[in-house]
Structure 1
Amino acid sequence: MSFTLPDSARDWQDRIRRFVEAELIPWEVEAEMNGGEIPPDIAARHERMALDLGLSRIDAPRAHGGLALPILDQVAIAEQTGRVTNALAWCCGEAQSWMFEACSPDQIDRFILPLMRGERHFCTAVTEAGAGSDVDDIATTARRDGDHYVIDGEKWHVTSANLADTVIVQAKIQGGAADGSHALFFVGLPAAGLSTLRTPAYTHTYRHHHPILRFDGVRVPAADRIGAEGQGMGFIHAWFRRERLMIAARCCGAAERLIEAATEFAAGRAIGGEPMARFQLVQAMLADSLAELHAARLVTYEAAEAHDRGLDVKALHARCSIAKLLASEMAGRVADRAVQIFGGRGYMRENVAERFSRELRVDRIWEGTSEIQRLIIAGSLLKRGLAGTIGP
């Protein structure tokens, strides 16, 4: 299979790579050694630059000031932001196209447009202690009470909650005609009845924490329900499809950087008077890494292009799962090989391979584990056949 990125995607690729290399990567070690934190003025500068580049608007419709980029262009962008560790690329929020379909004009004005301008910062509360990849199994409830809803439940791994002023929370409707169905809500932070139970320490070193949030009778205006009762799961699926594809792209970017770093080190490291890169077992690790990256990248690009050409959404769901599965598993193997090539240096936190070996591990878990992706892929194969899943 041959695949050439269009000019627009290559242009974005070049622009974002320059931003990542010049502005973000130089702060990785500083962040790593300081709990994920960098100087506030630098973090603010990164956000301003990301906003000026349009990164908060790439998926938003033009009618609302967005760029409405093709998904293939967005994948090219995500691949470049994947090159940086310590979540430094998470320097601005992003409005996604499904939000403009789900939200009312008033909600777009109050929540989504400020997000695009960097005036609001979101986090999303979906996962629970008893409901991870099986989102349908959540226990958090939303009960209608006049012109409000009352939300009760506990949410885990609420990424970026420490930096957010708004949480999108998923709950099951309790009572009424839509009893047991899902809905999403905007909840402003802080909110009466909403508390942080604890903030666990995670393997990676990010300034974006993942606390456990408790909702105890949190009252939310009905005007802040996103879409209709019962539509929440559809919006989550739309979010998952896009995010799984972007995870695949970021994994490809991380693997690319790891291969570059490991190759440069192997070429310059002398053992017995010979460059380490001359040893065949080292060459094999580099060759396997490059071959796997090339395959995962092509699958990811093709899935993005399928989205842009209007592939049926159910088939697209499987394509995104294939891309996430292949790319996340690939990136983990590449990181492990890179650590091996660097040897003792690869076990130092100042080394890019060490950081990625920790950071990339979660890509096989969040937004659906590798096992869930396999079930989605197999389910598509059984329902739609081989051609209906990956094309004729």
Structure 2
Amino acid sequence: MSYPLPAGARVWQEKLRRFVDEELIPWEVEAEMNQGELPAEVRDRHRRLAREMGLYGMDMPKELGGGNLTMLEQTVVSEQIGRVTNALGWCFPSPNRWMARACSPYQIETWVKPNIAGQRHECYAITEAGAGSDVDAIEATARSEDDSYVLNGEKWHVTSANHADHFIFQAKIVCGPHAGTHALFFVDMDTPGVRLVRTPAYGHSYAAHHPIYRFEDVRVPVENRIGDEGDGMAFTYDWFRYERLMIAARCCGAAGRLIDEATAFARDRTSFGKSLTEHQAIQFMLADSLTELWAARLMTYRVAEAIDAGEDVKILHAQSSMAKLYASEMANRVADRAVQIFGGRGYMRENVAERFFRELRVDRIWEGTSEIQRMIVANGLYKRGQAALVE
């Protein structure tokens, strides 16, 4: 039995599947052979179609220009987006709803609304050379001076910074009653003191890069601080919960695509006088992949429904980690099996299995490694018990 999705979610699922199949997947190899880049007219067409479908700001309220999709609807959208390689699905802005609650009217008008409309573009400057999943280990600082803050620090893996015009910068307050706590700041890229250090090469072929930036005595007005001093980690956790669920959804989409592609190849490929589908080794790999995908999808959809129902955020924090942990590990196993089924073809960059084999690896790292997710889940078990998390 297919999952009993509400009618609205089913409409989004079908609409996005057509968009991915007809508009995005045909350009995967072109992007792969050109550092993730597409011809400008193709890129603009994808963005226009995404806007027309109502994907811009899908997590944001309608009064701000967003789509106000439910979390389950966003999950099925992200699952379909996950079916395409080379990050071609990153063709629409997706600021998170926490901004609508946390940002001042000035910030809403200056950064948030233009982001939703695709007129401005954000990137997160959180991770550092010595601080990844352990966000509290960041060394970036924010020092209050009169009506401004002076920011210092070096940020790594600033995803999509080459397409952005401002950062969301996380730092620790270094003086006053909130010293040692975290705060977030809007920082325009042309602010004096912001310097691009370098743009490392990564294992995937994305048009969105992940540069390193240094912030040296960057002065921003107090109006650029998001929320109060000390609120930064709460906002980051909110963002993490959302991103972890969307990663889980994209991993389900990738696994589903790989299963379809590997099954089609196995039907057509003959080995030792019979179809690959008749070989037990292939049957077992496909059966295990399909079973694990179903489990991951059920988990991911259920967490999305729980968020829509307004269930306990502390429970949801652990469950979002469970979904990301299981779905990302599952998708990596499926990609490995798909490469094996394709054989030598599976090691060619023009093959979908080879691209996903590289691309999916980072889903076990960013927005919290698999090891961090396990720690979060174990902590939730110790504090709240098994029944609260899975029964």
TM-score range, shorter chain: over 0.9
Deviation at 1:32, TM superposition (A): 0.4
Secondary structure in 2 aligned to 1:176?
Answer: coil
Paired position in structure 2 for 1:29 = 29
Structure 2 residue identity aligned to 1:91: C
Equivalent residue runs for 1:82-93 within 5 Å: 82-93=82-93
**Stretch of structure 1 that moved more, 45-54 or 22-31:** 45-54
Equivalent residue runs for 1:272-287 within 5 Å: 272-287=272-287
CA distance in 1 between partners of 2:80 and 2:143 (Å): 43
* Unpaired segments ≥5 residues, structure 1: none
Secondary structure in 1 aligned to 2:284?
Answer: helix
Deviation at 1:190, TM superposition (A): 2.2
Deviation at 1:177, TM superposition (A): 1.4
Paired position in structure 2 for 1:366 = 366
**Stretch of structure 1 that moved more, 190-199 or 259-268:** 190-199
The answer to whether the Cα contact below 8 Å between 2:156 and 2:210 also exists between their aligned partners in 1 is yes
Deviation at 1:55, TM superposition (A): 1.4
Paired position in structure 2 for 1:387 = 387
CA distance in 1 between partners of 2:192 and 2:92 (Å): 27
Q: How many residues align?
A: 391
Structure 1 residue identity aligned to 2:332: G
Deviation at 1:42, TM superposition (A): 1.2
Q: Deviations over 1:104-137 (max 9, x none)?
A: 0111111111111110111100001111001011
Paired position in structure 2 for 1:125 = 125
* Unpaired segments ≥5 residues, structure 2: none
Deviation at 1:91, TM superposition (A): 1.1
Paired position in structure 1 for 2:153 = 153
Q: Deviations over 1:271-295 (max 9, x none)?
A: 2331111111001000000000000
The answer to whether the Cα contact below 8 Å between 2:55 and 2:67 also exists between their aligned partners in 1 is no
Q: Give yes or no for the alignment of 1:200 onto 2:200.
A: yes
The answer to whether the Cα contact below 8 Å between 1:338 and 1:346 also exists between their aligned partners in 2 is yes
Structure 2 residue identity aligned to 1:81: I
**Stretch of structure 1 that moved more, 323-332 or 39-48:** 39-48
The answer to whether the Cα contact below 8 Å between 1:194 and 1:218 also exists between their aligned partners in 2 is yes
The answer to whether the Cα contact below 8 Å between 1:57 and 1:94 also exists between their aligned partners in 2 is yes
Deviation at 1:2, TM superposition (A): 7.8
Secondary structure in 2 aligned to 1:16?
Answer: helix
Deviation at 1:186, TM superposition (A): 0.6
Equivalent residue runs for 1:130-149 within 5 Å: 130-149=130-149
Deviation at 1:65, TM superposition (A): 2.9
CA distance in 2 between partners of 1:92 and 1:63 (Å): 18
The answer to whether the Cα contact below 8 Å between 2:65 and 2:117 also exists between their aligned partners in 1 is no
Structure 2 residue identity aligned to 1:56: Y
CA distance in 2 between partners of 1:291 and 1:278 (Å): 19
The answer to whether the Cα contact below 8 Å between 2:169 and 2:185 also exists between their aligned partners in 1 is yes
CA distance in 1 between partners of 2:26 and 2:61 (Å): 33
Paired position in structure 2 for 1:242 = 242
CA distance in 1 between partners of 2:126 and 2:44 (Å): 28
Deviation at 1:146, TM superposition (A): 1.6
Secondary structure in 1 aligned to 2:374?
Answer: helix
CA distance in 1 between partners of 2:178 and 2:342 (Å): 56
Q: Deviations over 1:244-290 (max 9, x none)?
A: 00000000000000000000000001123311111110010000000
The answer to whether the Cα contact below 8 Å between 2:167 and 2:188 also exists between their aligned partners in 1 is yes
Equivalent residue runs for 1:330-369 within 5 Å: 330-369=330-369
Q: Deviations over 1:68-111 (max 9, x none)?
A: 22111110100000000001111121121100011001111111
The answer to whether the Cα contact below 8 Å between 1:51 and 1:118 also exists between their aligned partners in 2 is no
The answer to whether the Cα contact below 8 Å between 1:59 and 1:69 also exists between their aligned partners in 2 is yes
Secondary structure in 1 aligned to 2:266?
Answer: helix
Paired position in structure 2 for 1:293 = 293
**Stretch of structure 1 that moved more, 132-141 or 142-151:** 142-151
Q: Give yes or no for the alignment of 1:109 onto 2:106.
A: no
Paired position in structure 1 for 2:63 = 63
CA distance in 2 between partners of 1:282 and 1:64 (Å): 50
- Give the TM-score taking structure 2 as reference length: 0.98
Deviation at 1:176, TM superposition (A): 1.1
Cα RMSD after superposing both structures? 1.1
Sequence identity (%): 62
The answer to whether the Cα contact below 8 Å between 2:166 and 2:186 also exists between their aligned partners in 1 is yes
Runs of 4+ with deviation above 3 angstroms: none
Secondary structure in 1 aligned to 2:303?
Answer: helix
The answer to whether the Cα contact below 8 Å between 2:20 and 2:80 also exists between their aligned partners in 1 is yes
- Give the TM-score taking structure 1 as reference length: 0.98
Paired position in structure 2 for 1:19 = 19
